[in-house]
Amino acid sequence: MFYHKKRRVQTMKSAIQLLEAMWQQGKHLCVGLDPDLSKIPKAAWRGSDEATLVNFCCSIIEATGSIAVAFKANRGFFGSCGDSGVRALQAVIGFAHEKFPEVLFIVDGKWNDIGNSAEQYAREAFGVFPADAATVNPYLGQDACEPFLKHGNKLIFWLCLTSNTGAGEFQKHGNPPLFLHIAERISQYWNGNNNCGLVVGATHPEELAAVRKVAPELPLLLPGIGKQQGDIDASTKAAIDRFLMNESRSILYASSESDFAEKSAEAAEKTHQRILMAKSSIKEG
């Protein structure tokens, strides 16, 4: 059973430097770790919820880490298990850092609040969970976001346009739409520490292209491929470069049998190759 609690030896590289090194290797696949206990294969179970979460996620990490640019763990899938889930996520991050120290680890918590509450959320994201990056909600404005922004060696992915079908209810409201105002504002005014990125769903390739125009340098985290049927080719063309394309369920649950890790590696490799082909077609075009 995998159960590593060691933190990696601190690298001198910032989160954005880790990403840029991986992009130079042609890596753009972010492997999402959203472990649903009701879907985890029986072969991955190890007696308790905590041990099962660790074993399953570390098996996926070991199988896919050689082609991943990042791992992204959704906070809710661990937090819903209480204290044991928190311990499991800490152990998973420790294993990923030890096994693949150059691969970014993102905790997807979509945090934020005002004043000293935001300070505590930032401590959770980068202290309780020693993540390299976190997803954060910018809705409260820059002053509330400073506790995250001041972590210059980390990377903050601000929610811009989410991948769900109801995203447009608020995020596309206005002229210019809210998501585009967020992208432009963060790109121009918030990125003084070179540690800002944006979350933009791969289910919105046209809007993604508009975001890239106003935020040409920001890293883009693109969820929504796989089960949500985001368009890999269109999203790659719109993002151009400097992006992470996240796939979760299609990789995690590629098999319900004892070969789950092997099948997850095959699924990850397939998506990795599709991204490379999409980038190649852009260059040829």
- The one catalytic residue among 13, 99, 110, 263: 110
For residue 274, which of 22, 24, 26, 104 has the smallest C-alpha distance? 26
- For 224, other C-beta atoms within 10 Å of its C-beta total 24
Closest C-alpha among 163, 155, 158, 169 to residue 111: 158
Based on the residue annotation, tell me whether 110 is a catalytic residue of this protein.
Answer: yes
Task: Decide: 156 and 220 in contact? Cβ < 8 Å.
Answer: no
Detail the DSSP E strand segments found in the chain: 29-33, 68-74, 104-111, 133-136, 155-161, 196-200, 220-222, 243-247
Q: Which amino acid is at 126?
A: F
Return the closest-CA partner of residue 79 out of 137, 124, 39: 124
In this structure, the strands spanning 155-161 and 133-136 are parallel
Catalytic residues: 110
